[in-house]
Amino acid sequence: MKKLIPVGVFVVIILGASFLFIYNSSSPLTPGSKQTNESSINTSFSNPKKSAHYESNTPEHGSTLAGVPINVVINFNFDLAVPSDIKIENDGKDYGIGETEIDENKLSMRKNMDPNSPNGIYTVNYKACWPDGSCHDGGFQFAIDRTQDSSYEDMIGQNEITIRMSEIQFMPKNLKIGKGTKVTWVNNDEVEHFVNTDSHPAHTYFPNQNSKALKTGDTYSVTFSDTGIYLYHCSAHADSMIGSILVE
């Protein structure tokens, strides 16, 4: 019996090791990993790099969007000059379209983005240059995950849509529409509201979506002609009153 005990222990060890090997082989996860599937994105963002005179950008660093931005905009507190430049890269490819543009006030630069850009994490690398010829680099990241549009209210097929500004909210908050749809905001609250494109307080992403102060009963309308996602807020309640329109 004394000779059989070590053999029995050995057999138990072998069987246990075999079970663990089979279990681990059948699981796609490894310690510390995040389970994903074809319709989800593992969003792990690196730290942003802010150049001299940087103020803000849209999309915001670390944000995950339900659609492709119409453009990437970066704002500064000093006059920009050529050759300022923006690259919007995913997997080694630049999905920016056309040339980098400097706004008329020279405080913002922007670049359009390919509406067919795939899901994934995008790294924006930019070069901000000043009239004295000096340039400074910066960068940030955002992600596109079209599966997030499942939380959007689908209003495709309607030519005109009304968004109520009520209880310090946009109702509906997130909606999906078709190209050429007219959206009208109406203030049903007893306080003033605004419709302002991101970011706050620059409001440069889509300037056509910037209203004046809207008092009770006032309305403001925009017709959306280009596909993409439109991020906006009420600048009087910028921390809590936000909205998003996805144009397809």
Asked if residue 34 is part of any domain, the answer here is no
Q: Report phi then psi at 77, rounded to 5.
A: -110, 25
pLDDT of residue 28 exceeding 90: no
pLDDT number for residue 42: 75
Asked if residue 12 is part of any domain, the answer here is no
Asked if residue 17 is part of any domain, the answer here is no
Domain boundary among 116, 147, 178: 147
**Residue 111 and residue 62 share a domain:** yes
Give 18-22 contacts, CB < 8 A, sequence gap 24+: none
Q: Whole-angstrom distance between the N-terminal and C-terminal Cα of the chain?
A: 77
The alpha-carbon radius of gyration of the chain (Å, integer) is 25
Domain boundary among 93, 128, 147: 147
Asked if residue 120 is part of any domain, the answer here is yes
**Residue 204 and residue 190 share a domain:** yes
pLDDT number for residue 32: 28
**Residue 221 and residue 164 share a domain:** yes
pLDDT (tens digit per residue) in 122-138: 999 999 999 999 999 99
Q: Which of 59, 48, 40 is nearest to 244 (CA)?
A: 59
pLDDT grade, residue 6 (50/70/90)? Answer: very low
152 contacts 177 by C-beta, under 8 angstroms = no
Region 200-213: mean pLDDT is 98
Region 78-85: mean pLDDT is 98
Asked if residue 127 is part of any domain, the answer here is yes
**Residue 215 and residue 141 share a domain:** no
CA angle at residue 173 from 107 to 152, to 5 degrees?
105
pLDDT of residue 15 exceeding 60: no
Domain boundary among 147, 181, 210: 147
Asked if residue 80 is part of any domain, the answer here is yes
**Residue 131 and residue 59 share a domain:** yes
Q: Higher-confidence residue: 34 or 222?
A: 222
Quote the mean pLDDT of the chain. 87
**Residue 143 and residue 169 share a domain:** no
**Residue 164 and residue 142 share a domain:** no
Asked if residue 26 is part of any domain, the answer here is no
**Residue 167 and residue 143 share a domain:** no
pLDDT number for residue 41: 73
Region 25-51: mean pLDDT is 56
Q: What is the CATH number of the domain that holds 136?
A: 2.60.40.1220
Q: How far apart are CA 62 and CA 60, in angstroms?
A: 6
Asked if residue 119 is part of any domain, the answer here is yes
Q: What is the CATH number of the domain that holds 200?
A: 2.60.40.420
Domain that residue 71 falls in: 54-147
**Residue 198 and residue 183 share a domain:** yes
**Number of domains the chain is built from:** 2
**Residue 169 and residue 133 share a domain:** no
